[in-house]
Amino acid sequence: MSFLVNLISLILINFSLVIAEEVECQGAILRVLDKATNEKNYFTTPLSQTIELYNSSIIIHRCVKVESEGQNDEIALMTHKLKNKFNKEEVFFGWIFKSTQYLNAPKNPIYDIKLEKCLIEDPIFLNNKESI
């Protein structure tokens, strides 16, 4: 009897496993919207590069394209350091998602930060594809 229960459990676990395909990327494109002026700026950055803004800095540590059950998404691990009005630093360290941008996003009173795209190739070399 216990063999049958274990066999059924094993079969159900195998059917419920979701196989996700991940592609490690070398950079990212971020959209930074100034909430006061509604001006959009796009930053193309390699991993571990610091983006300096007026009141904060951003570093993308990892960017991954994920496909799971036909659903595509792109996620990035980032650090966002914000200097608040008391000149103290608030740090956000977490994953941001392209598909659900406000699920887990850094809080910034001036800027709205969104992941636009993960770049498979290093963005430093994107524009220089000519052979020497």
Q: By C-alpha distance, which of 75, 70, 44, 48 is closest to 59?
A: 48
Amino acid in the structure at residue 97: F
Residue range 33-86, pLDDT digits in tens? 999 999 999 999 999 999 999 889 999 999 999 887 778 899 999 999 998 878
Model confidence, pTM: 0.75
